Amino acid sequence: KFKSAAKALLPKALISNGWAQNKGFDMIKNGDVPDAKLLGERQLLFLDKWSTDWSHQTQMKVLLSQTIFANVATLPKEAMSGAIIPTLRIMQKGEYAPDDRPVSDLDSNGWPQTGRNNALKKIRKGFAFHLAGDQHLGSAIQYGLDDWNDSGFAFCVPSLSNYWPRRWYPSEGGKNREIGKPNYTGETQDGFGNKMTVHAVSNPIFTGIKPSKIYDRAAGYGIVRLNKNKRSITMECWPRQAKPQDGDSEQYEGWPITVGQEQNYGRKAKAFLPEIVVRGLENPVVEIIREDSNEIVYALRLNKNTFKPKVFDTSKKYIIRVGEPDIDNWKTENSIVPGNGKIIFQF
């Protein structure tokens, strides 16, 4: 509803049905339109408020959307659109497409890049996990903005019946991938240049099960389990024909995956503020605020009484706000700078 149409904004790309037909157009270098919208202003305002609102004893946050904010898909390098997808040969287990490249599908939420980044900046302030579907290809990734892994995790679940078997076989393997993981995992970029770390993908594989149109096209479903005590998120990705009673080995390769809540703002700290110690209040909400702009850097409900806040600009002073929004009971410390020591909040 809010997303800008790319065709009028990128005339040199010669876009047809969401795909650039000009082979010489570089979508990474020239495809971004800073004023183009992925989300509308109302949506961004909602996300900004939602990400820092921990009322009603909220302990973990999950963002639901039609699809994820990246284009996890490849096609043979000569392909000019996704129309070829239903005709591609399904790989045998262990095979790897020889000449695929990441594609720039303007129907994905990898474009516009600036709009995508603006959305992720809002989402990560609340340590939110992103759950979506629509792209038909099961994938678990961690977003990157300025650097890889500086934002949250996203899980695109597969479709239960898949006519459009997208795949992810980049010819260049991802960087810093875990030992033993497939080449298609690791730190990489999509066809728009968006940073992402791919942890698992349910690529279509020949199963030998009939009908092949159902079982060879990576059909299946996803399950997400939130553990409020551990503050962990477990992603499961099951083939349609799986027998869950036989254990996790029935899942698509790479799953299950478990991440911690705080990994959803994976940005590396430049420094740390003094340790927060909270007494007399269970599961307090902590807000870290830049004093010069009054902007909330991030907010989180704790399940402990201590917290060491990370910050990303050592030249700034910060406000630490601790309390319980459900009863509007807050305590505040101003002009805090990075350093050691402790700040005690007594309720």
Tokens 């703002």 sit at which residue?
Answer: 265
Domain 271-346 coded CATH 1.10.260.40? no
Q: What is the pLDDT of residue 135?
A: 79
Q: What is the pLDDT of residue 343?
A: 98
Token output for 82:
């996704």
Q: 67-88: per-residue pLDDT in tens?
A: 999 999 999 999 999 999 999 9
Strands 153-156 and 129-132: parallel
Spatial contact of 229 and 176, defined as CB atoms under 8 Å apart: no
Confidence of residue 134 (pLDDT cuts 50, 70, 90): confident
Token output for 118:
């603006």
Q: 289-321: per-residue pLDDT in tens?
A: 999 999 999 999 999 999 999 999 999 999 999
Q: What is the pLDDT of residue 303?
A: 96
Token output for 117:
């980044």
Q: What is the pLDDT of residue 136?
A: 83
Q: What is the pLDDT of residue 186?
A: 99
Strand order in the sheet with 275-279: 306-307, 275-279, 342-346
Region 45-53 average pLDDT: 98
The model's pTM is 0.96
> Element (H or E) spanning 265, and its range?
none
For residue 45, the 8-state DSSP code is: H
Does the pLDDT at position 1 exceed 80?
no
> Cα–Cα distance between 204 and 162 in angstroms, integer?
10
> Cα–Cα distance between 287 and 304 in angstroms, integer?
15
> Cα–Cα distance between 293 and 303 in angstroms, integer?
28
> Cα–Cα distance between 144 and 110 in angstroms, integer?
12
> Cα–Cα distance between 75 and 83 in angstroms, integer?
10
Domain boundaries, the chain: 6-265, 271-346
User: What is the CB neighbour count within 10 angstroms for residue 286?
Assistant: 19
Rounded (10°) angle between helices 41-51 and 113-124: 20
Q: 253-278: per-residue pLDDT in tens?
A: 999 999 999 999 999 999 999 999 99
Q: 137-188: per-residue pLDDT in tens?
A: 999 999 999 999 999 999 999 999 988 999 999 999 999 999 999 999 999 9
